[in-house]
């Protein structure tokens, strides 16, 4: 018995040392694993080319369209400044409609957003398939903090995969997962909970499309959305 006790202490110490060494080696191996760049990374040269192509093919069209509408409505700053000083070409250039070129979010906001939608998906037993980045335009009287009428923007929406398609989704006022088509209309496709791991129930909204009736926007009120917007827009609109 004494010999057993005498041998027990060094054996225990050796076991702890080996276990600690293995954990340390695992941490080293994990840290040494290089992070591979995504295949979708493009060169700065290609990015600049795409930016300049937008500048030549889209920006003038957007500016001309918005300026012409403003002129017809009689509230165009460019038109007012030109009338007061017809030779002031600088005023025409500055006050012409500012076409948005990019939307930005601070890095922490994006990290928090990804953590939020991942945690929500995990809790509801679903898996995010893709992230969609939608082009958008703010209408008049949009009740958002950073919404400026007529300015282009983007919003981000997660999707789930079902029936070999991806759908946007939100929770209705009954905490039921409701699917959205590509154009954000309510989908006729019903969410099919995975009986093994999904904690969500399917929604049973009426099939508006089959009845050729457009759903009311009030159906979206009181729902839980996972769509991110209200980033900064550059260049800013008038008066910014």
pLDDT value of position 208: 40
Counting every residue written for the chain, the total comes to 240
Is the domain of 119 the same as that of 87? no
Sequence-distant (≥ 6) Cβ neighbours of residue 89 within 8 angstroms: none
Count of alpha carbons within 13 Å of 41, Cβ hemisphere only? 5
Task: Note whether residue 33 is domain-resident.
Answer: no
Question: What is the C-alpha to C-alpha distance for residues 99 and 64, in angstroms, rounded to an integer?
Answer: 10
Domain interval for residue 61: 44-95
Percent of the chain with pLDDT over 70: 64
Whether residue 186 is predicted with pLDDT greater than 50 in this model: the reply is: yes
Task: Note whether residue 163 is domain-resident.
Answer: yes
Which of 57, 80, 95 terminates a domain? The answer is: 95
Task: Note whether residue 4 is domain-resident.
Answer: no
Is the domain of 121 the same as that of 75? no
- What value does the mean pLDDT of the chain take? 76
Is the domain of 227 the same as that of 132? yes
Is the domain of 210 the same as that of 138? yes
Task: Note whether residue 63 is domain-resident.
Answer: yes
Spatial CA neighbour of 181 closest among 204, 202, 162, 195: 162
> How much is the pTM?
0.69
ω into residue 235 within 30 of 0, thus cis?
yes
Task: Note whether residue 25 is domain-resident.
Answer: no
Is the domain of 55 the same as that of 138? no
The answer to whether 226 touches 158, Cβ cutoff 8 Å, is yes
Task: Note whether residue 190 is domain-resident.
Answer: yes
Q: Which long-range contacts (CB under 8 A, 24 or more apart) does 204-209 make?
A: 204/176, 205/172, 205/178, 209/185
Is the domain of 118 the same as that of 161? yes
Q: Using one digit for the tens of pLDDT, what is the confidence trace for 134-178?
A: 999 988 888 877 788 888 899 999 999 998 999 999 998 888 899
Q: Which residue has the higher pLDDT, 167 or 95?
A: 167
Is the domain of 124 the same as that of 203? yes
Is the domain of 129 the same as that of 146? yes
Is the domain of 66 the same as that of 111? no
Task: Note whether residue 15 is domain-resident.
Answer: no
Number of domains in the chain: 2
Q: Which residue has the higher pLDDT, 8 or 142?
A: 142
Is the domain of 79 the same as that of 118? no
Is the domain of 162 the same as that of 57? no
Is the domain of 90 the same as that of 173? no
Question: What is the C-alpha to C-alpha distance for residues 102 and 134, in angstroms, rounded to an integer?
Answer: 13
Which of 52, 68, 95 terminates a domain? The answer is: 95
> Buried b / exposed e across 56-77, counting CB within 10 Å, b at 16+?
eeeeeebeeebbeebeeeeebb
Quote the distance between the C-alpha of residue 120 and its chain's center.
15
Task: Note whether residue 13 is domain-resident.
Answer: no
Whether residue 46 is predicted with pLDDT greater than 70 in this model: the reply is: yes
């Amino acid at each position: 018995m004494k010999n057993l006790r005498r041998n027990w202490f060094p054996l225990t110490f050796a076991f702890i040392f080996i276990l600690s060494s293995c954990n340390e080696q695992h941490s080293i191996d994990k840290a040494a694993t290089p992070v591979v760049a995504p295949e979708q990374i493009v060169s700065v040269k290609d990015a600049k080319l795409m930016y300049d192509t937008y500048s030549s093919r889209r920006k003038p069209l957007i500016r001309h369209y918005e300026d012409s509408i403003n002129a017809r409505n009689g509230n165009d700053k460019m038109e007012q400044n030109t009338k007061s000083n017809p030779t002031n070409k600088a005023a025409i250039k500055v006050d012409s409609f500012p076409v948005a070129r990019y939307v930005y979010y601070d890095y922490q906001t994006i990290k928090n957003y990804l953590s939020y939608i991942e945690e929500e998906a995990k809790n509801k037993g679903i898996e995010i398939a893709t992230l969609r980045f939608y082009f958008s335009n703010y209408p008049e009287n949009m009740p958002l903090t950073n919404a400026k009428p007529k300015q282009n923007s983007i919003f981000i929406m997660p999707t789930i995969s079902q029936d070999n398609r991806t759908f946007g989704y939100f929770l209705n006022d009954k905490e039921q997962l409701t699917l959205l088509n590509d154009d954000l209309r309510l989908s006729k496709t019903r969410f099919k909970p995975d009986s093994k791991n999904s904690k969500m129930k399917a929604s049973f909204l009426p099939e508006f499309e089959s009845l050729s009736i457009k759903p009311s926007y009030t159906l979206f009120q009181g729902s839980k959305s996972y769509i991110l917007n209200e980033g900064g827009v550059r260049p800013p609109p008038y008066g910014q």
